[in-house]
Amino acid sequence: MSGTGVDYQRIYERHVGEYDAMVAAEDCDGHLLPALQSIAPLAGAAVLEVGAGTGRVTRLLLNAGAWVVASEPALAMLAVARRHTAQHPAARCALLGADALALPVRTGWADVAIAGWALGHLRSWHAATWRETIARALAELDRALRPGGTLIVIETLGTGEERPRPPSPALAEYYAWLEGEQGMERIAIRTDYRFPDPEAAARATGFFFGGEFATRVLQERWSRIPECTGLWWRRTVADD
């Protein structure tokens, strides 16, 4: 995610279709939902999701029986997410055009709060003040949680990697901060992408991960691109 020279904010505004098609190919073995459920039960849970994108994780949560309030600041992405979740009753799925740093949600209502592949961008977009900025986002997620609720942060641990490792020194610093300063535990899973052939894989991922990565996909003849993902989590203090 970091260090590719790709303008992600532009992608989220102007290449929504390509992004949606790419993430639809991720987690081809379906490891993410069981990993989330191993951290916190989702059936019947009230869940806050930030950085919903085009709604891939939102749909997982809804299909698992959660009641979801999801936020996404890129309105083009949010429009696609709304189409993807249109079959769910409005009472079970609310999609908000909002930034993770200022969420228009009430305090203390959520059982689970999830930031999926969102806060890591703040590490580069706010390089000089990333600790304060990400801490503010985490505080907003914590604010929404009821006592005993669970906060989960999902981030990449390497695209094109067979073993989990931070893809850049900046993200390594951020992940160490989550575990040290923020007291979060981590689990790692594989969320590989699967495409019909290497050429399709290179086309689908090159716009997001950069030209060098697309060249590597072709050289490796990857139709299945390895991807490692980390889930960091902690629980809020329950009332006595």
In a domain, 238, yes or no: no
Query: Could you tell me which of 92, 91, 85 has the C-alpha nearest to residue 59?
Result: 85
d(CA 112, CA 1): 25
| Residue 28 placed within a domain | yes
Prediction pTM value: 0.94
User: CA dist 105 to 117, 121, 140, 145, 147, Å?
Assistant: 20, 22, 9, 10, 16
Residue 218 lies in a domain: no
Each residue's pLDDT expressed in tens, for the chain with a length of 240 residues: 444 456 777 788 788 999 999 999 999 999 999 999 999 999 999 999 999 999 999 999 999 999 999 999 999 999 999 999 999 988 899 999 999 999 999 999 999 999 999 999 999 899 999 999 999 999 999 999 999 999 999 999 999 999 999 999 999 999 999 999 999 999 999 999 999 999 999 999 998 999 999 999 999 999 999 999 999 999 997 765
User: Structural domain tally of the chain?
Assistant: 1
In a domain, 210, yes or no: no
The CATH number covering residue 66 comes to: 3.40.50.150
Q: Does some domain include residue 30?
A: yes
The H or E element spanning position 8 is: helix 8-14
Query: Which value, to the nearest 10 degrees, does the dihedral of the CA atoms of residues 7, 13, 14, 16 take?
Result: 100
Structural domain contains residue 200: no
In a domain, 223, yes or no: no
Domain coverage including residue 77: 8-194+228-233
* Any domain includes 76: yes
